[in-house]
Amino acid sequence: MKIVILTLGCKVNKYESDSLKYNLKLKGHDVSSELEPADIYIINSCAVTAEAEKKSRQMIAKCRKLNSDAKIFVCGCASQNNSKQFIEKDATFVSGVSAKIKIADALEEMGEKIAPLPQQYEDDMHAEQDRARAYIKIQDGCNNFCSYCIIPYLRGRSRSREIISILNEVAALSDDIKEVVLTGINVTDYKINGDPGLLTLLERLDDYGKRLRLSSMEESLVSDEFVIGLAGLRNFCPHFHLSLQSGSESVLKRMNRHYTPAQFYQSVESIRRYFPLACISTDVIVGFPGETDEEFNETVEFIKKVKFSSLHIFQYSHRQGTVASKLPDIAPEIKQSRFEVLNKLKQELQVAFIEANKTGKVLVEEKVGHHYVGYTENYIKCYIRSYKNIINKIIDVKIGKSFKDGAKAKIKKFGNFS
């Protein structure tokens, strides 16, 4: 049977879809991730914004155009939030966040079945890894309840995967996979037997000889002890995605973010003390309810002070069911104007970060046109010319000028790569 799995949203969703894909293949099905004619479509939906939820609904119509008689299964955060919206769009079967892997055994199901959110980590998903970089899910759920975010209500409370399960999955990876990215809804909250365990996990994984990268983290995780521990690892990639959201203390309070800009800056200073050329990227929301010109300017000045390597900028999106949804929204044109200011600053910061780096080790992941493309340890996207196939190799490069969304790079010495 031909099955297509379509994934919207975060890396956690991608990992879960890859796990489902692997499970379905074991049962003899022909499975792909491309939007193409199929007997069954599985849509792994996203609800992080209203737009993401809308795209999840629209995916049903796209599938119907390819095969009007196909069965369409929907799972994930958007269906957990509101299953009826997909039933009304003619989905065959709708489930939620929990027990996604069981869809592989439920291809004859119809209607909807939203299981209760799990209290423990569901350790029944193991993704098929077919790239140079493997994403490994270590945690699910979130306890933060930021006032703008609906995900804790849809994913449930934070729960961590057993360390032995993670180590076993990494140990089973192919030698062709050179890098492991630890991902989760809130990786910062990873625990071992109820105690903070992320550094311990990284120390254990360091023995496997693969580059180690964290998908994102909260400011609260960063202490001198934690950063010193990272500096002692052989394979850790100095790439820190620290979620800021706003550089204004008053906005952070309304967001229910439990730090001040001053505390955030101290964390950045701790990182740069041990990793001077670390990539420090962040998320910023513009146009949060009540954000004044003065508060926005505080964010701009704070971003300049930190000198982030890169920004992920989002215009505030109203999410029904969150605390912030009860606050008066800001005009769309103001959000757009503020977005454009930060986007311009983002370009300047990225160029400055690239120019500060002269060399790096690039894990080559693909070929795009005439260039081989991959990332340095500190997450500079490099475009490399080579007469040899260097995909899945880690190579020493000289980093040149900015190019597209990264930089051009030259191989320092052929043969000097693994």
Q: What is the pLDDT of residue 415?
A: 53
CA atoms of 316 and 49, how far apart (whole Å) = 9
**What does CATH list as the number for 2-113?**
3.40.50.12160
Strands 93-95 and 159-160: unpaired
Q: Please give the pLDDT value at position 414.
A: 58
Q: Rounded CA gap, 163 and 148, in Å?
A: 31
- Classify domain 133-355 by CATH number: 3.80.30.20
Q: pLDDT at position 110, please? A: 86
Where are the chain's structural domains? 2-113, 133-355, 359-411
Which residues of the chain, if any, have pLDDT below 70? 414-418
What one-character-per-residue DSSP string does 43-89 give? EEE--SSHHHHHHHHHHHHHHHHH-TT-EEEEEEHHHHH-SHHHHTT
Spatial contact of 197 and 191, defined as CB atoms under 8 Å apart: yes
Q: Which CATH number fits domain 359-411: 3.90.1300.10, 2.40.170.20, 2.40.50.140, 3.40.190.10?
A: 2.40.50.140
CB 407 within 8 A of CB 399: yes
Provide the angle, in degrees to the nearest 10, between the axes of the packed helices 224-231 and 198-205. 0
Q: Is 404 left (phi over 0), alpha (psi -120 to 50) or beta?
A: left
C-beta contacts of 302-306 below 8 A and 24+ residues apart: 302/244, 302/247, 302/248, 302/261, 302/265, 303/244, 303/247, 303/342, 303/345, 303/349, 304/345, 305/265, 306/264, 306/265, 306/268, 306/280, 306/282
